[in-house]
Structure 1
Amino acid sequence: MSFPCIKINLRKISNNARLINDRCALKGISVVAVTKSILADIEIVKILKKSGINIFGDSRLENLVKLRKYFGYGQELVLLRTPMISECEKMLDVCNTSMQTELSTIKTISDICERKNKKHNIILMVEMDDKREGISARRTIPFFDEIFKKYPRIKIKGLATNARCISKRRPRINSIENLIEIKKRISSRYGYAIPVVSGGNSSIWKYIEDNSIPEGINEVRIGEAIFIGNETSGYEKINGTFSDSFILEAEVIERKIKKGFVYKFIIALGIQDVPCKHLIIQNPCYDIIAQSSDHTVIGLKKTYLDGLVKNKMDGLILPEPEVGDRIIFGLDYFGLMFSMTSPFIKKIYIK
């Protein structure tokens, strides 16, 4: 076996995906599985599909190209980030739907659609709580008006909002309700029924679970809750999910001994692979103390180290990593993203 490696437990991922999809379905909510953190890995996507998830979304067109090649043209794929002008032509060949926030981009897409004699679905992102992308709530209806009147080849399929991607502010019910209110005003003024209202991401899970999600939300975009088992409002574990579907293993290449104890060792893993703040060491006696581009230094926790220096370690049995031993880490969401993206970390699938 080669190291470092990420062990991917497909059974645990399936459990998480099925649980989340089933709970959402009970409330009439469709799940868009967000595949960016797994680099649209086909082995994992197969499991998500078998677990009942029918829509896949990603912010990078390259990942969606991979999914389109695997699924063919019967699968609904959504671009979750406003496309670059330079990729609009290719995007139209790959995606059924795209998130949109800029009129100039929508005009470009419309022009390409005219030339290719095709139509395209868009979802308007409305900025509520996150201070990332989106049209302001007060500008959404004028924005809709311009698209509706000028671009007949563009179908406005939905409204969406985001939370907890940049801002630390938790999603608020009234913000989600505002999104539904915008939909109602558009329906009243234009006689146009917007079919999709995408209420957010893993950060609104608690509202789904406690049944306080406003009626009218019929779609959510979920990544971290499936892959890590966390909701992202308070970063609490979701009941019934696994948080260890992905485990990273790295090899010890050097160790230091003091008074007969291994007090420090180095593993062949660095910032170029995964920044250490996204690693969760599973050995309770050690902490990550430093990292460079290609080395991670791990040392005894201060409590044990102080005891070692003061000769108070009698009777304490510590693990003694040898050169060649493996060190095991859990991953947070960004650790998963780095690990799946790094070409130096091998993937091992556990079925």
Structure 2
Amino acid sequence: MYPRLEIDIQKIRHNAKLLVDKCKKENIQIAAVTKVYCAFPEIVEAIKDTGIKYIADSRIQNLKKLKHINLPKILLRIPMMSEVEELVRYVDISLNSEIDVIRKIDQEAKKINKVQKIALMVDLGDLREGYFNEEELFDCIEQVLKLENIKLVGVGTNLTCYGAIIPSKENTQKLVDIAKKIEKRYKIDIDFISAGNSSSLHLIDKNQMPQGVSNLRLGEAIALGRETAYGDKIEGAYQDAFKLICEIVELKEKPSVPIGEIGMDAFGNKPVYEDRGIRKRAIIGIGKQDINISAITPIDTKIDILGASSDHLILDVTESDINYKVGDKVEFNLEYGALMSAATSEYVYKVFKG
């Protein structure tokens, strides 16, 4: 069945073990972030015994699917008030930045006689979630420590995901320093110092990771074998554990410029075309409803992607050395955004190998 996402479980397992060993040398434990592939249990089962310490996801729905896996679960996205009841049942550690939500977590945890662990997020300049003002952070901590069913276990930060700020020795050290201040001021242990995601890996390679960092939350590095500060491949890791395979549904020679007055396409854009004469064009059965077309690359390097509608992807196969026919398959490598959309789409079949 096509289109389909082929998933090589052994390659993902290899990447996870490689990164566990890499981080272990710095006394850093890994939270494997599973959201990019919708926490497919087949993948998580394969990596659970590689030495990863936590499973992390931004959706409680995904963590619920993994409740049978005996690893602590971290909720990455700041909790919504409306999901707190499920949070206390399925999540071990949540990342927080709002005291009202934390109070709600305390109330729900009390109902089931549970002490819920939390980490407070610190904004180091990326301007997504977290406390930007240090005194506001300390004020929150003072209130948190009064709650009977909440245990503050750590602090975390997020970089590159919104503001594209690259983790550095300097900004990461600030997180470690804040953790030390909390320990000194409030006489508590802060064991969970989570210094970011796959974009922080380059600090290990450069011997610039501050001592005291105890956790990294790694998604793309495990799934696609890349660090995300500069987009570099991780030495020894696989970048092709996921592959998209689609079927050709039409193959015809047509002009390269549409004929008539050009208006808006189906997505409200007014396209611009280059006149390259008559070209051999293949249409494959996948579209923007299923995949982020800007984040896929044909494995046949002589194919050009021309564009897509909701359900069709149009390719120029004129220069290819392969004599494609209707029904033939075209394969693509995926970047993070494409993998996320393909994994989420119910119209893309999933096939596990290895």
TM norm. shorter chain > 0.5: yes
Say whether residues 1:85 and 2:54 are aligned partners.
no
In the alignment, structure 2 segments of 5+ residues that lack a partner are: 256-277
Superposition pairs for residues 174-185 of structure 1, below 5 Å? 174-185=170-181
Superposition pairs for residues 1-351 of structure 1, below 5 Å? 2-68=1-67, 70-71=68-69, 74-138=70-134, 139-148=136-145, 150-257=146-253, 263-300=280-317, 318-351=321-354
Contact 1:38/1:336 (8 A) holds in 2: yes
Residue 198 of structure 1: CA displacement? Answer: 0.4
Residue 46 of structure 1: CA displacement? Answer: 0.9
CA distance in 2, matches of 1:134, 1:258: 53
Residue 129 of structure 1: CA displacement? Answer: 2.9
Give the total of aligned pairs: 331
Residue 137 of structure 1: CA displacement? Answer: 4.2
CA distance in 1, matches of 2:151, 2:208: 30
CA distance in 2, matches of 1:7, 1:300: 23
Residue 321 of structure 1: CA displacement? Answer: 1.1
CA distance in 1, matches of 2:125, 2:337: 21
The structure carrying a bigger helix percent of its residues is 1
- 1:68-118 Cα offsets, whole Å, 9 max, x none, are 1x32xx431111111111110111011111111111100111112223322
Contact 2:168/2:203 (8 A) holds in 1: no
Classify the secondary structure of the residue corresponding to 2:282.
Answer: strand
CA distance in 1, matches of 2:104, 2:153: 18
Classify the secondary structure of the residue corresponding to 2:233.
Answer: coil
CA distance in 2, matches of 1:322, 1:57: 43
Amino acid at match of 2:328: D
**Which 4+ stretches in 1 moved above 4 angstroms?**
none
**Matched residues, percent identical?**
34
Residue 173 of structure 1: CA displacement? Answer: 1.8
- Which one is further off, 215-224 or 109-118? 109-118
- 1:157-192 Cα offsets, whole Å, 9 max, x none, are 110001110112211221111111111111111111
CA distance in 1, matches of 2:165, 2:171: 12
CA distance in 2, matches of 1:63, 1:18: 22
- Which one is further off, 112-121 or 177-186? 112-121
CA distance in 2, matches of 1:93, 1:285: 51
CA distance in 1, matches of 2:240, 2:177: 39
In the alignment, structure 1 segments of 5+ residues that lack a partner are: 305-316
Contact 1:129/1:171 (8 A) holds in 2: no
With the length of structure 2 as denominator, give the TM-score of the two structures: 0.90
What residue is the counterpart of 2:275 in the other structure? none
- 1:14-48 Cα offsets, whole Å, 9 max, x none, are 11111001111111100000000111101100111
| RMSD (Å) for aligned C-alpha atoms | 1.6
Classify the secondary structure of the residue corresponding to 2:89.
Answer: helix
Residue 300 of structure 1: CA displacement? Answer: 4.3
Contact 2:282/2:317 (8 A) holds in 1: no
CA distance in 2, matches of 1:257, 1:181: 64
Amino acid at match of 2:251: R
CA distance in 1, matches of 2:113, 2:317: 65
CA distance in 1, matches of 2:323, 2:281: 10
Contact 1:262/1:320 (8 A) holds in 2: no
